[in-house]
Chain A
Amino acid sequence: MTSDTSRWLRLMLIAFVTNGLGPFGLKVLAANHFGEYEPEYLIFWYIGGLVFAAAAFAFGKRYLSRSELLFGSAMGFCSLGGQFFTGEALTAGIPGYVAFPITTGGSLFLVALAGILLFKERVGPYGLAGLAVGILALVILSI
C-alpha cells in the first residue's frame, strides 16, 4: 500500500465516522422530545463546527487567500442551501421518500460524473461498481 493510499484511508475513516456522527444529534434530540428545537439546534451545531474549525485554523498560517475565501464561502452557502431547500421541499409536501433519494443519490451521481468528466479522474471497474452499489444503497436507505 502506498503512503498516499494509507493517508487517504486514514482520513476517509475519520471523515466516515465523524460525518456519520454529525447528523446523529438530531436523533438524540428527537428521542429526548426536543425535536421542535431543530432550527435552534442547527445554529448551535454550526457554532460547534465553527469553534473546531477556528481552533484547527489557528494552528497553521493565519491568512486567507482569495481562492480560499471564494471556495470556502461558496461551500458554506451550498451546505446550508442544501439543507434549507430540502426542508422547504418537505414543508411544501414533497414526501421524504422522493426528496431524500433525489438529493442523496442524485448528488452522488452528479459529483462522480463531474469527477470523471470535469476533473478527468480515472475510476477503475471496481470503483464504478462501488459507485453504482453505493448510490443504490443510499437510495434504499433514504426511501
Chain B
Amino acid sequence: MLDTVLALLSFSALGVLAKMADVKRARPSAINLLLYSSSLGLILLITFAQHGGMPASPLFVKAVALPFGACSAIAILALQSALRFGNISTTWLAINLSAAIPTVGSIIFYHEQLGTRKTCSLLLIVVALLLLWKDRKMSDMASENTNLSESRTQ
C-alpha cells in the first residue's frame, strides 16, 4: 500500500509543482524540456542499473513510442501555458479527464465493448467538462460586472 500512497503523492506533487512554477514565472518550454530530460535521465539510470545496458527492442515499439511521447510533451507544454490563464484546480481536472480519449480510441479502433460502467464514466466526463466550461463563463461574467461597476464609480 505504501507504493500506492507514494504514487498518489508523486502525481499530486506534479500538479502542485506545475502551479508553483507558474507562480515563479518559469517558462513553459523550459519546464517541459527539464521535465523530459530528468525523467529520461532517471529511467535510463534505472534501466542501466537493472540490465547493465540498453535492452534491444523491435522497431515497431520505437515507432509507436516516439510520436505518442511527443504528444505527451505537447500536452505538458499546453498545460503549463494554460496555467497563466486559469486555476490549477480546474486545469488539472480538465487534463486528467482526457483519460476518456484512450477509452474512446479503444472502442473505435479495437472494437472494445462499451459496458455500463464505461458508458456512465464517459457521460460523467462530458458533464464535468460542461460544468468546468460553465464555471469559467460565470467567473468571466462576474469579472466583467466588477470592471463595469468600477468604471461607473470612476
Interface residues of A (CB under 8 A from B): 1-2, 4-5, 7-9, 11-12, 14-25, 27-29, 31-32, 34, 37, 39-54, 56-57, 59-61, 64-65, 67-69, 71-86, 88-89, 92, 94, 98-99, 102-104, 106-108, 110-112, 114-116, 118-119, 121-127, 129-131, 133-138, 140-143
Contact = CB atoms under 8 A, between A and B. Distances in A.
B52 interface: no
Interface in B106-142: 106, 110, 117-118, 120-122, 124-125, 127-140
Contacts of B128: 130-131, 133-134, 137
Nearest to A34: B61
Interface residues of B, dominant DSSP: helix
Nearest first, the 5 A-B pairs at minimum CB distance are A20-B101, A72-B34, A48-B69, A76-B38, A25-B68
A8 B136 contact: yes
B31 A72 contact: yes
A76 B85 CA distance: 23
Contact of B85 (A7, A50, A64, A83): A7
Interface hub of B46, B72, B85, B86 (most chain A Cβ within 10 A):
B72
Contacts of B41: 76
Interface residues of B, number: 113
A64 B28 CA distance: 11
B34 A43 contact: no
A103 B72 contact: no
Contacts of A18: 71-72, 74-75, 78
17 contacts: A1-B140, A8-B85, A11-B85, A12-B78, A14-B75, A15-B79, A20-B102, A28-B68, A39-B47, A46-B36, A47-B40, A49-B69, A56-B73, A73-B37, A79-B39, A108-B96, A137-B127
Given A27-B102, A72-B33, A82-B14, A129 B43 contact: no
A81 B85 CA distance: 28
Nearest to A15: B78
A34 to B, nearest CB: 6
A94 B21 CA distance: 33
A18 B75 CA distance: 5
B36 A138 contact: no
